Chains A and B, each alone.
Chain A
Amino acid sequence: MRHIISLLLENESGALSRVAGLFSARGYNIESLTVAATEDPTLSRMTLVTRGSDEIIEQITKQLNKLLDVVKLVDLTEGAHIEREMLLIKVEATDGAREEVKRLSDIFRGRIIDVTDRAYTIELTGTGDKLDAFLQTLGKTGIIEVVRSGPSAIARGDKGLHL
């Protein structure tokens, strides 16, 4: 099963490598990992997407909790949550493609954030599925560059992950 694990980490240089090292040392898979500082500069928030049986996910959360840099941990997949990923994509936009790319971008509620006479750069936010669908629709031809952020996620409701 796919799990989204959210962590509050000490915002220190070694913290990220401890988490990454844990996954490689124990053979757990990381599908994606995003991390940035929070409103409290001593903490960073990490969103980690992994896959595994219930037993493996249990070990992953226990092992993560053991790391001294991990201050709080929640498996968001256990409750209702919202997941978003951002895609930045540069696409060829010449001749007939120019109109077509803009139209597709509109349909997916993308925003064109940079324009040259040969290309558009589009920003698109959504679930991973939506981004996949957009990429599929564009087809292989014409894509110059793709940058995906990996998912960030947050629980629904009025409670937050805090100290």
Chain B
Amino acid sequence: MELTGAEIFVRCLRDEGVEYVFGYPGGASLHIYDALYKQDEVKHILARHEQGAAHAADGYARSSGKPGVVLVTSGPGVTNTVTGIATAYMDSIPIVVFSGQVATSLIGNDAFQEVDAVGITRPCVKHNFLVKDVKDLAETIKKAFYIATTGRPGPVVVDIPKDITAHKTEYHYPKSVSLRSYSPVTKGHSGQIRKAVDLILQAKRPMIYTGGGVILGESSKQLTEFVRLLGYPCTNTLMGLGAFPATDPLFVGMLGMHGTYEANMAMHECDVLVAIGARFDDRVTGELSKFCPHARIVHVDIDPSSISKNVPVEIPIVGSVDNVLRDMIKLVKESKQRPDKAALQAWWKQINEWRSLECLKYEHSDKVIKPQAVLEKLYELTQGDAFVTSDVGQHQMWAAQFYKFDKPRRWINSGGLGTMGFGLPAAIGVQFAHPGETVVCVTGEASIQMCIQELSTCKQYSLPIKIVNLNNRYMGMVRQWQEFFYDRRYSHSYMDALPDFIKLAESYGHVGMQIDKPSDVEGALKEAFKLKDRLVFMDFITDQTENVYPMIAAGKGQHEMQLSPCHRDTSAERELA
């Protein structure tokens, strides 16, 4: 039987096992929406803005490991998703975005709501397609999912002209596809792996630096086994948090600009660096010329272009983390060589000295709410088991520092693009992927306003997300840089004319709370978590002057961290000066 393109589209999603599509309708996608209406296997979630739909699909993907699916209309529908697509691209998140397009006969005519979707999204997708014949539709959709989810994952856009969704053809969804120009490597080169293990076992001051690739590659178990087998220190990037249990004594915290003192010092002093699924981002390395001066470097990554891009690597291993780690674990177990006990002991002694500085220490207050204290309480009350999404700014860094993630896919944030507005819609996707689980969105009063309309989506689908708004009445991260590097000229970083967040939440049908006393923090959180089936917007009025520490300023090396004022005049600071 022949089906229309729109019907084929819906059948493809069903056969691909897609449960949710996050979208927003419009002229060019009306045939598809009509086909969606006539079935109930693929559920459509209506966002309030296409950016929200894209972030929701992204949050769904990050928290579940399954691809997120987006459906938008042509023109403004696509342009509104671009931020969401770029966000997914920078963090290698598998989403598939379907956009309506004007009819093929009109393409290129400046037709109503026409934009060159393939052209606009080209620089921020893993790949994209324009479907020109209904006979190609099913195979193109299969390819899109295949490309998005394999190798280094990433967003794929499929642009579908309106007439294609009306044309008819036989439906057949291919079980698999192959592309002659695309065959991601998975197995690592055995000779390289052997060389790497030799080097790793010879290390006197080893360091294991891991990133988002471990989570994307579902390899937390192997990583944990590998690190524990060796007894070496392990650090995670912002994107890798949860890949190794944060409460394990071998974990030295996040590294990089706002990472821990011990993680950054250990990076600087290590003699063998094992980078796994991490891409030597500039927020991590600090000044490149000062980066890891003593280290011989092993780098495991599925994408050859991540290797030796910023930092030259001695032993590159192209392969997927899970395979390579499995091979490495096997070799370590088989090898007669053992890590040098005495050297390792001395190394841990040094690391523990750095640790004893307690670099995340902050000044407590009983007058004004310290943002860090809210997050410590949040961690304690959720027992480290919540899904935490975040926006971008100081609150994001504090959440990363103070919420100890023991499991992967629980920490959902935009690292590469740093997209304000990500947190709330991402939480929507997370909640759909994990109904019944606690989902918290940590945000700031500036970020939350960038996708605030999604409160309406939360109402429609009864999503009991808990919003922790750390309201410092500033674009805190911007203010911090202006304080440090622009002589306190706070140019346009003050958030004036803020809405009454309680009333705002209430007008969307949710519960709103404002908390301005430190003694009320715990009670408010407890009360919010008791409201199991309600979205609660907690507006914490926090210290306006608090800064994120420690910090590597621009041009500085990892060993040149600036510590918080409550460390001033400690021996370490003197040493640094």
Contact A58–B308 (Cβ < 8 Å) = yes
> How many of chain A's residues touch chain B, expressed as a range?
10 to 19
Q: Which of the 9-residue segments B67-75, B175-183, B325-333 touches chain A? A: B175-183
Contact B122–A68 (Cβ < 8 Å) = no
> How many of chain B's residues touch chain A, expressed as a range?
10 to 19
Residues of B within 8 A of A59 (CB): 305, 309
Please tell me if B127 contacts chain A, counting CB pairs below 8 Å: yes
Please tell me if A163 contacts chain B, counting CB pairs below 8 Å: yes
Majority DSSP secondary structure for residues of B touching A = mixed
Contact B122–A21 (Cβ < 8 Å) = yes
Binary B-proximity of A41-77 (CB < 8 A = 1, otherwise 0):
0000000000000010011001101111111000000
Residues of A within 8 A of B130 (CB): 14
Contact B304–A65 (Cβ < 8 Å) = yes
Give Cα A62–Cα B118 distance, bound, in whole angstroms.
23
Q: A55-B308, A63-B305 are in contact. Are A71 and B181 (CB under 8 A)?
A: yes
Most buried by B among A14, A59, A63: A14
Give Cα A14–Cα B127 distance, bound, in whole angstroms.
10
Residues of B within 8 A of A62 (CB): 304-305
Please tell me if B249 contacts chain A, counting CB pairs below 8 Å: no
Give Cα A66–Cα B128 distance, bound, in whole angstroms.
13
Q: A70-B181, A71-B181 are in contact. Are A18 and B304 (CB under 8 A)?
A: no
Contact B180–A66 (Cβ < 8 Å) = no
Contact B305–A68 (Cβ < 8 Å) = no
Residue of B nearest to A71 (CB): B181
Binary B-proximity of A61-95 (CB < 8 A = 1, otherwise 0):
01101111111000000000000000000000000
Give Cα A55–Cα B303 distance, bound, in whole angstroms.
16
Contact B119–A68 (Cβ < 8 Å) = no
> Closest Cβ of chain B: how far from A86's Cβ, in Å?
29
> Closest Cβ of chain B: how far from A137's Cβ, in Å?
43
Give Cα A150–Cα B305 distance, bound, in whole angstroms.
28
Residue of B nearest to A8 (CB): B181
Residues of B within 8 A of A55 (CB): 308, 312
> Closest Cβ of chain A: how far from B277's Cβ, in Å?
17
Please tell me if A136 contacts chain B, counting CB pairs below 8 Å: no
A residues with a Cβ closer than 8 A to B are 10, 14, 17-18, 21, 25, 55, 58-59, 62-63, 65-71, 163
Given A66-B303, A68-B182, 5 more A-B residue pairs with CB atoms under 8 Å apart are A10-B181, A55-B308, A68-B127, A68-B147, A71-B180
Q: Which 4 A-B pairs have the closest CB atoms?
A: A62-B305, A71-B181, A68-B127, A62-B304
